[in-house]
A and B are shown apart, each in its own frame.
Chain A
Amino acid sequence: MTAYGVLRSEWVKFRSIRAMLGCLAGAVVAAGSYGYLFGMAAARDYLAAPAADRAAFDPTETAFRALVLVGVLISAAGALTVTSEYASGTMPVSVTAVPRRGLLLAGKGAVVALATLLTGPPLALLSLTLSQAALAARGVPSVGPGDPGVPGALLGAGLFTGLIGLYGMALGFLLRRSAGAVSLGTFLLVLPGMAGLFPEAVARWIVTWWPSAAGARLFAVHPGTEGLAPLAGAGVLAATVLGLLCAAAALFHRRDA
């Protein structure tokens, strides 16, 4: 067992799970369609707003809003790399091939992280392009991928999807069932969208500190002064994912395979 060998082995497994294609296709559709819809909604708001509010309009705010929904599919993809092995009964076979379970988990994690890291920026670019096109079509101010702060946000989106992929994988190891890992992963990711249901103090805490909301600061083009700084937000998400990975590794090591 070499780290390189385990990495290649996990890559062969990853590329032969067909649901990955479904997740990727779903992520492309979500990035494009929600990007466009968020752009349309922002254009309507802009055109209905008084001049004073129009001056404060930031077209980049709508650009990457779709990424939280993309994250749902990325998280599912991460979970499936693990739960597909439990569902098909191949986990014991994998563990006999690589009995050092920490190495097995690390190999899987490296493949998931790399694949989801690389899909983030193109998806973010798609969402940006369609949302800005929706704005521009109505004569509303818009930005392009080369505008100040935008390239950084595109890279930040990659970091975000990479972390979310690992988050899904960790849930897969913890819960071992596709339905459980995917639905819990989705619920926890979109919770900030339901913050309005909570008392105001709780809601404010959620939109600031909840890991998926904090991580979303990674693709804020103009972070402003409200909420966490992009790197602090990334730190919150990364620490959460690391905690989940440690729990996953401990349980994977202890449980019978």
Chain B
Amino acid sequence: MIELRQLTKRYGEVAVVDGLSFDVRPGAVTGFLGPNGAGKTSTMRMILGLDRPTSGSATIGGRRYADLPMPLREVGALLDAHAVHPRRTAFDHLLSLAYGNGIGRRRVEEVLGLVGLADVAGRRPGGFSLGMKQRLGIAVALLGDPPVVLLDEPVNGLDPEGIRWIRTLTRSLAAQGRTVLLSSHLMSEMALTADHLVVIGRGRLIADTGLEAFVRSAARQAVLVRTPDAPRLASLLREAGAVVRPGAGGGLTVTGLSGAEIGGLAGAHGIVLHELTPWRASLEEAYLELTGDSVEFASSPAGAVS
């Protein structure tokens, strides 16, 4: 269990992480989401004792990371897959970290097998592909067989095979009862991996909820209506209290009324309908809607449809 309480990191006037409080529970994959620059990496670095919080605290099982006697046996982390010495063999890279935490050579061989790098254990990671480096980073995280695992953007730049591997791995780690915190800026990936979501923007908490609840709360129910008499139906719907916007392909996107109510209204006024489709925002849309105000560098909509 990871607990954050009013965690804050400031660089001068700028708050990168701003009063963040949430818990990460065991036995589930908690997705840590936010646009680039939202403060995900800074938060993880503070949990790992790499950066000093300006105020607030981050604890693992009630203790600060720096107070853990054998940290790699309690928390495993992957922050940056490129963080390997290009000339130090994969085996030595792991061994140097293992020794400091009372872990032996046998476990090093074991994790190399676990991530599928046993054949390249004696090779230098300078020539590794990103996917191989990512696997080596995961091997570091799993070295101490830790009950808590933190992975920062583990699927970034991976091919579909690598992405699926990470997804299966994180799911199985959670199934074993471990606490898994997985950061990403890709909602679509989270939809397939996470049980629980923590969404942050500009260093602040936006949502801390189950995956299902997140979609329900964020997504607006809407109905797509297509009719040859759009202007008349639109004014009738507005009179009935609905919000009507031009939808895809000349249709109308209606919120505030159910499909049945819209159909009934059209029937009562003799308006022909060609389509009446209840529509639910996808996870991606729900996420973009939530974080829309907090992206650091928003692009202006190009060729906005009116």
Chains A and B bind each other: yes
Interface residues of A (CB under 8 A from B): 1-2, 5-6, 8-10, 12-13, 16-18, 84-85, 88-90, 92-100, 107, 254, 256-257
CB <8 Å contact, A88 and B100: no
User: Are B50 and A92 within 8 A (Cβ)?
Assistant: yes
Q: How far is the CB of B71 from chain A (nearest CB, A)?
A: 6
* B49 close to chain A: CB less than 8 A: yes
The prevalent SS among residues of A at the interface is helix
CB neighbours of A89 from chain B (8 A): 80, 82-84
When each residue 84-95 of chain B gets 1 if its CB lies under 8 Å from chain A and 0 otherwise, what string results? Answer: 111111001101
**What is the CA–CA distance of A94 and B92 in the complex, to the nearest angstrom?**
13
Digit string of B51-71 for contact with A (CB within 8 Å is 1, else 0)? 110000000000001101111
Rounded to whole Å, the gap between the CB of A9 and the closest CB of chain B is: 4
Contact A16 B89 (CB under 8 A): yes
Closest chain B residue to A255 by CB distance? B52
B101 lies within 8 A of chain A by Cβ: yes
- A-B interface pairs (CB < 8 A), number: 98
Query: Which residues from B are CB-within-8-Å of A88?
Result: 83-86
When the two chains form their complex, are residues A9 and B100 in contact, meaning their CB atoms are under 8 A apart? yes
Distance of A100 Cα from B65 Cα, bound (Å)? 10
Q: Which residues of B contact A (CB under 8 A)?
A: 45, 48-52, 65-66, 68-72, 75, 77, 79-80, 82-89, 92-93, 95-102, 140
- What chain A residues lie within 8 Å of B66 (beta carbons)? 99-100
Q: Are A256 and B45 neighbours in the complex by a CB distance under 8 Å? A: yes
Question: Hey, which chain B residues are within 8 Å of A94, CB to CB?
Answer: 96-97
Q: Are B83 and A99 in contact (CB under 8 A)?
A: no
Question: Among the listed A17, A95, A99, which residue makes an inter-chain contact with B85, where contact means beta carbons less than 8 Å apart?
Answer: A17
Taking CB atoms, residues of chain A closer than 8 Å to B87 are: 16-18
Query: Which of chain A's residues has its CB closest to B126's CB?
Result: A88
Closest CB of chain B to A15's CB: distance in Å? 8
Contact for A9 among B75, B88, B96, CB less than 8 A: B96
B88 touches A16 (CB 8 A): yes
Given A95-B49, A96-B49, decide whether A12 and B80 contact each other with a Cβ distance below 8 A. Answer: no
Contact of A12 among B49, B68, B99, B101 (CB under 8 A): B99
B72 adjacent to A97 (CB under 8 Å)? yes
Known: A9-B97, A93-B83. 19 other contacts (CB 8 A): A1-B71, A5-B101, A6-B99, A16-B92, A17-B85, A17-B87, A18-B87, A92-B45, A92-B48, A92-B79, A94-B96, A96-B49, A97-B72, A98-B100, A99-B48, A99-B65, A99-B68, A256-B50, A257-B50
Shortest Cβ distance from residue A121 to the other chain B in the assembled complex, whole angstroms: 28
With A12-B92, A16-B88, A97-B71 given, is the CB distance from A92 to B100 under 8 Å? no
CB distance from B290 to the nearest CB of A (A): 30
Cβ 8 A contact of B100, one of A17, A85, A97: A97
> B79 to chain A: which residues have CB within 8 Å?
92-93
